[in-house]
Amino acid sequence: MAALTLREILSFDVLGAAAPEILCGEQELDRPVRWVHSSEIYEIGPLLSGGELLLTTGLGLAGADAGARRHYVRELAERGVAGVAVELGRSLTEMPYELLDESRRRGLPLVALRAVVPFIRIAEAANTAIVTQSLTDRPYPAADRDGRAAALLADLAEGTARSQPEVLARARALDFRPDRTHRLLGVAATGTGADAALDRAALALDAELLRAPVTGGLAALLAVPAGAQDAVRAAQAALTAGPPAGYTLALGPACPADAAWSRWGESLREARTALGLALTVPPAEPAPRSGALVTSSRALALERQLTGDGLTPASRDRLAHLVSRALGPLLEWEAAHPSDLVRTLEVHLRNGCSPTRTAALLHVGRQSLYQRLDRIESLLGLPVTAPDSHTELLLATCAHRLLRAQP
């Protein structure tokens, strides 16, 4: 595995706060960085061993003439320094022309830092990541890899990771290197075939995958390339495209792969919550014939909002009142006549009141569906597509399903 590059170091949040501007050397940003060092000593070049990112305020250069400044750059380039970052505003208000020109001549990346961030913070974050990378940058047995992956996913989900650089270094050590343009999804799954389905989906989507076994199933991060406009929908399609299997899998919300690690953890937590609901509450739509249920926190948004931290006696009473007020006539009809009106109504509302989509999901003919919808509207005394009734009816049908699943 490669060491951290100058490009990656410059993408760290702590450096982003310093408003870095790459003035020259863009083509050399993939140089490996061995260490991040700060110094105001003009004669620092001979003290360096190469591969450093040097941070300076330019104090040692402020009083130097043009020739001395060019000599400073030449020495650093000859020592093999990875790059120089100069904080502007205190010792130097603007980047001296001779520093910029000589850096261009020598192919040395030169970065202007236009906001003040203590160098100790930058060095601590970057060097922690460099050391972590060096400690993990070696092959290890598959079982140990699973343990490391499980530990990283747990730290993300529980919010106990130490820093963004540490998370990135640990992920790189596990060959999880999503591009910043990727959309990242947390995954929680249980049952037979979930791991194989994730492998197939990652291959089909050309996605980065980091997974690990956890108690009761597996957890994973799936990074989908930016070409998929809706990462959740693309992942669901890929995950259900395989042979029949008996697993339940939930996806968390998508977030940019270069977002803070807390967003990665949030997606993992929401996937875990969605999986718990998928296992305890019957889905609104019939289970797929493949035997694999793939859902998402987005698809279960109503269920998550209605249950919150669990159904208390007070919340159950509130939901029961909603169901009775909105669906009373349908429930009375169903008590006397075997039918499936409430579920038909929920599936119809969840799918934009599309007769074609609803009939296909319920495995009924369009004529039978129209008869059910006519019956529903007759009993309720209102059109189910009316905007002012749509929200209440959808909430009520979902609440009815929740209360029946958790008596």
Structure tokens at 289: 């014939």
Task: Mark whether 356 and 295 lie in a shared domain.
Answer: no
Structure tokens at 393: 């009816």
260 located within any domain:
yes
Question: The domain spanning residue 395 has which CATH number?
Answer: 1.10.10.2840
Rounded Cα gap, residues 89 and 379, in angstroms = 74
Q: What is the DSSP letter of 141?
A: -
The confidence score (pLDDT) of residue 348 equals 93
Amino acid at 287: A
Structure tokens at 280: 């305890």
The domain in which residue 271 lies consists of 142-299
Q: In sequence order, what are the beta bridge partners of 209?
A: 222
The confidence score (pLDDT) of residue 90 equals 86
Q: In sequence order, what are the beta bridge partners of 56?
A: 86
Task: Mark whether 201 and 246 lie in a shared domain.
Answer: yes
Chain CA centroid to CA 5, Å: 23
Q: What is the DSSP letter of 142?
A: H
- Judge contact between 164 and 126, C-beta under 8 A: no
Q: What is the DSSP letter of 58?
A: S
Average pLDDT over residues 357-367: 92
pLDDT tens by residue, 171-195? 888 889 998 889 999 999 999 889 9
Tokens 């919550």 found at: 273
Q: With 0.75 as the threshold, say if the pTM is over it.
A: no
pLDDT tens by residue, 6-54? 998 998 888 889 999 999 999 999 999 999 999 998 888 888 889 999 9
Angle between helices 355-362 and 341-350 (to 10 degrees): 130
306 located within any domain:
no
Q: Final residue of a domain: which of 251, 271, 299? A: 299
Task: Mark whether 124 and 150 lie in a shared domain.
Answer: no
Q: Final residue of a domain: which of 72, 99, 130? A: 130
Task: Mark whether 146 and 295 lie in a shared domain.
Answer: yes
Q: Final residue of a domain: which of 248, 276, 299? A: 299
Task: Mark whether 107 and 206 lie in a shared domain.
Answer: no
Burial class (CB in 10 A: 0-12, 13-18, 19+), 150: middle
Question: The domain spanning residue 98 has which CATH number?
Answer: 3.40.1390.20
336 located within any domain:
yes
Report helix, strand or coil for 131. helix
Domain count, the chain: 3
Rounded Cα gap, residues 272 and 156, in angstroms = 13
- Judge contact between 109 and 83, C-beta under 8 A: yes
**Mean pLDDT score of the chain:** 89
Q: Parallel, antiparallel, or unpaired: how do β-strands 83-87 and 246-251 relate? A: unpaired
Task: Mark whether 149 and 112 lie in a shared domain.
Answer: no
Task: Mark whether 292 and 339 lie in a shared domain.
Answer: no
**Which DSSP string corresponds to 70-100?**
HHHHHHHHHTT--EEEEE-SSS-SS--HHHH
Structure tokens at 24: 């020259």
Task: Mark whether 293 and 148 lie in a shared domain.
Answer: yes
Confidence of residue 280 (pLDDT cuts 50, 70, 90): confident
137 located within any domain:
no
- Judge contact between 186 and 270, C-beta under 8 A: yes
259 located within any domain:
yes
Task: Mark whether 76 and 179 lie in a shared domain.
Answer: no
Of 78-82, 258-262, 308-312, 389-393, which gets the smallest average pLDDT?
A: 308-312
Percent of the chain, pLDDT > 70? 95
305 located within any domain:
no
Amino acid at 119: F
Phi-psi region of 388 (alpha: psi -120 to 50; beta: other; left: phi over 0): alpha
The confidence score (pLDDT) of residue 2 equals 57
pLDDT tens by residue, 288-339? 656 688 999 999 999 988 887 677 888 889 999 999 999 999 999 999 988 8
Task: Mark whether 63 and 22 lie in a shared domain.
Answer: yes
Q: In sequence order, what are the beta bridge partners of 189?
A: 218, 249
Percent of the chain, pLDDT > 90? 60
Chain CA centroid to CA 56, Å: 35
304 located within any domain:
no
Structure tokens at 240: 């259900």
27 located within any domain:
yes
pLDDT tens by residue, 93-147? 999 999 999 999 999 999 999 999 999 989 988 888 887 776 555 554 555 788 8
The confidence score (pLDDT) of residue 1 equals 45
Task: Mark whether 82 and 190 lie in a shared domain.
Answer: no
Task: Mark whether 196 and 126 lie in a shared domain.
Answer: no
Rounded Cα gap, residues 247 and 217, in angstroms = 9
- Judge contact between 346 and 398, C-beta under 8 A: yes
pLDDT tens by residue, 51-75? 999 999 999 898 899 999 999 999 9
